[in-house]
Amino acid sequence: MIERKSLTAMPLLTGDQLVPMEQQPETPFGLKTDHGMVVCQDVLRFLPGKRLVVRAELDDQQVIVKCFYGNNADRYYQRELTGIQGFIHAGIDTPALLGHNREQQSLHTIVTEDLGKVESLEKVWKKTTLDDNQRRCWLHKAAILLARLHHAGVCQDDIHLDNLLVCNDRLYMIDGGGATVSTTPLSEKQARHNLALFMAVFFPRYDRFVDDVLSAYAAENTAAIHWEKTDFLKTVLQLRKWRERFIQKSLRNCTHFRVESSQRHFAAFSRQYDDAALQALIANPEAFIADGKILKLGRTNTVAIVTLDNERKVLIKKYQSTKGLLHKYLRTLRSSRARKAWLNGHLLQFLGIDTPTPMAMLEHRAGPAITCSYIITDFVPSTHAMAYFDPSQDALPEWPQVSSDIGDILITLKRSCVYHGDLKGNNFLIRNNKPLLIDLDAMTSYKWRFCFQRLFRKDLERFSRNWKDNPRADALFRPVIEAWEQAS
C-alpha cells in the first residue's frame, strides 16, 4: 500500500498526457479520475496511444483499472463494458465490475476487482507437471464456461488462454473487448465455430482431448450432442491454419517483437532477448562470425557458434549467394532465407514443435535487393539423430520414446500441411532425449491439402532413406513412418 505522505511526490497523469507516450509510465504514479485518485502500482498492459491496464489502489482497495484514451477510446471503452456485462449476465466467473466512467478529459476507465494471486490458463497449461487428467479437468471447465456464454448470446471472439485466469481452482473470463453480445443464444453454427476456435488455440497434439471437450460442452448445450467429431476436428484444423497469420506479427513492432527498418537493413528482434549484447551482434555480425566457431562454410550459407558480450552462446546462420549475378538477382525476387527461417521458427513454436529459439533476424539491403541475411537462434548443445541412433553403439533404453517423439513431430507437420523440404537425420537434434527440428529456410506451410500432398511424399521418402543402412533404427522407425503416412 502506498503511504499517503508519498502521494505528493508521485507524478499525476491525465489522459492527454498518456496519449503521446511511447513507453509505459514508471510506477508508482497517480491518475485523477471521477472514481477518485487512483494510485497505479503495476502496469499489466500498455498499448501506446490507446490503452493502459494497471493494478492500483482506490479508496484503500486493490483493484484493476483499464484506461482508454486517444482515438476511438469511447468505442473501445463501450466494447469492453458491454462484454463484461455480457459475462455477468451469462453467470460465469469474471472479476467483479466495481465502477466505470466516461470522463471529460479523454480518459475512460473501467474498474474491476483484483483477484490477487492468479495465473493465466496459458501458464498453467504449459506446466510440465500437468498430467492428462488435470488437462481434461481444465478443458471440462472451459467447455462449460463457453457453453454458458453461448447460451447467453455471448461470443468471445478473442478466445486465447491468457484471457482465462485461474484463481482458487476456478476459471475466470476476462477481456470483454474481445466479446460480442446479442440478446439471443448463439446459433448452432456460431457456437460450433467458436468452440472449434478455442480448440485451435492449443497445439495439434492436444486434439486428442476433442472428445472430452465435446462431451463437457454437450452437457450444458444439448444441441451439441449430435455434432460429428470428424467434422468438428476438420474445423479446428482449418481455424488453426487460419491462425497461422499471427506469425507475421514477428515482422512488426508489437508486444513480443521489435523491428528496425531502413534502406540499408531490416532487423527483427524477440523482445525477450533484445539486449545490448544481441544488438552488438546485429550491428557487426561478420566480426562475431570471424571470432566464432565455424560449423559450416558453404557457397550459399555459413553457420557459426558465437559468444555474445554477455557470454551467451548463440548460433548464427548467414545466407549469401556466391553462384553468380543471375542467382543473386533471382534471390532478390523472393523473401530472404533468413526471413523464411525466422517465420518458420515461430511457426514450429506455434505448432508445439521444439526448435532452437529464434532470437533475431537481419537483412542487409541495397535498395530493394537483399545482399545477404542472417538468422540468430539460441545455441542448443545436442546430438543429431544420425549419431544418436548410431548402429555402432549399444542401443539406449530411450530410443523407442525418442523415435515416437520424432513421429509426433512428423504427424503434426502433416496434419498442419507443412512441408519441411529436407528431413535428413542431421536436421533432428536430440537434447536430453527430446528431439528438435532445424534447418527451416526451405520449410513451407500450405493452405490447401492437395497442394501439400505431393510434396509430403518427398519428405516421406527423404526421411525413410535415413535408416536404410541402420537395421536397428529402421526397425524403430518403420511403425513411425507407417503411422505418419496414414495420419490425416
Angle at which helix 210-220 crosses helix 229-243, to 10 degrees, equals 110
Q: What is the pLDDT of residues 297-355, one digit of tens each?
A: 888 899 999 999 999 999 999 998 655 555 555 555 568 999 999 999 999 999 999 99
Quick one: pLDDT at residue 133?
96
- Mean pLDDT for the stretch of residues 210-231: 94
DSSP state of 177: G
Tell me the per-residue pLDDT of 426-438, one tens digit each, with 9 for 90 and over.
999 999 999 999 9
Separation CA 191–CA 213 (nearest Å): 13
Strand 434-437 to 444-445 pairing: unpaired
Sign of the torsion formed by the C-alpha atoms of 225, 226, 227 and 231: positive
Contacts of 483 (CB under 8 A, 6+ apart): 407, 411
- Provide the phi-psi class of 187: left if phi over 0, else alpha when psi is between -120 and 50, else beta: beta
Q: Is there a domain that residue 39 lies in?
A: yes
As a whole number, mean pLDDT of residues 253-257 equals: 86
Task: Look at residues 148, 196, 209, 201 and name the one whose alpha carbon lies nearest to residue 173.
Answer: 148
Q: Stretch 36-60: mean pLDDT, rounded?
A: 89
From 51, 80, 113, give the residue that closes a domain.
113
pLDDT, mean of residues 75-90: 95
70 in any annotated domain:
yes
Question: Which amino acid is present at 214?
Answer: L
State yes or no: pLDDT of 377 exceeds 70: yes
- State the burial class of residue 226 (Cβ atoms within 10 Å of its Cβ: 0-12, 13-18, 19+): exposed
Look at strands 428-431 and 434-437 and give their pairing.
antiparallel
Contact between residue 10 and residue 28 where contact means Cβ atoms under 8 Å apart: yes
pLDDT reported for residue 6: 55
Compute the average pLDDT of residues 59-81. 91
Q: Which of 71, 91, 113 is the last residue of a domain?
A: 113
Q: Kindly state whether residue 144 falls inside one of the protein's structural domains.
A: yes
295 C-beta neighbours (distance < 10 Å), count: 11
Range 368-374 average pLDDT = 88
The CA–CA distances, whole Å, from 371 to 212, 298, 401 equal 52, 16, 43
pLDDT at 475: 95
**378, 395, 414 - which closes a domain:** 378
Determine which of 16-25, 98-107, 110-119, 413-422 has the lowest per-residue pLDDT on average: 98-107
**Of 98-112, 283-297, 430-444, where does mean pLDDT reach its minimum?**
98-112
145 within a domain of the structure (yes/no):
yes
202 to each of 59, 116, 374, how far by Cα in Å?
40, 26, 31
Q: What is the pLDDT of residue 347?
A: 97
Tell me, yes or no, whether 345 and 388 share the same domain: no
8 Å CB contact between 333 and 418: no
**Residue 361 is assigned to a structural domain of this protein:** yes
Query: Does residue 281 sit in the same domain as residue 319?
Result: yes
12 plus 71 within the same structural domain = yes
How far is residue 36's CA from residue 1's CA, in Å, rounded to a whole number? Answer: 16
CATH code at 16? 3.30.200.20
The model carries a pTM of: 0.87
Task: Specify the pLDDT at position 147.
Answer: 97
Statement: residue 65 has pLDDT above 50: yes
Question: pLDDT higher for 17 or 312?
Answer: 312
- Domain presence at residue 236: no
Give 197 or 104, the one with higher predicted confidence: 197
User: Band of the pLDDT at 5, cuts 50, 70, 90?
Assistant: very low
43 and 82 share one domain? yes
Give the residue-averaged pLDDT of 189-209.
Answer: 96
Judged on CB neighbours under 10 Å (0-12, 13-18, 19+), 317 is buried
Residue with C-alpha cell 527423404? Answer: 462
Question: 269 lies in which domain range?
Answer: 248-378
- 1 pLDDT more than 60: no
For residues 226-251, give the mean pLDDT: 94
What is the structure's pLDDT at 8?
60
**Does 392 lie in the same domain as 300?**
no
pLDDT value at residue 324: 55
CB count in 10 Å sphere of residue 448: 9
The SS3 assignment for 166 reads strand
- Across 87-243, where does the E strand assignment appear? 97-101, 107-113, 119-120, 154-156, 164-167, 170-173, 179-181
The per-residue pLDDT for 24 is 85
pLDDT in tens, 158-183: 888 999 999 999 999 999 999 999 99
What span, in angstroms and rounded, lies between the C-alpha atoms of 398 and 402?
6
222 and 253 in a single domain? The answer is no
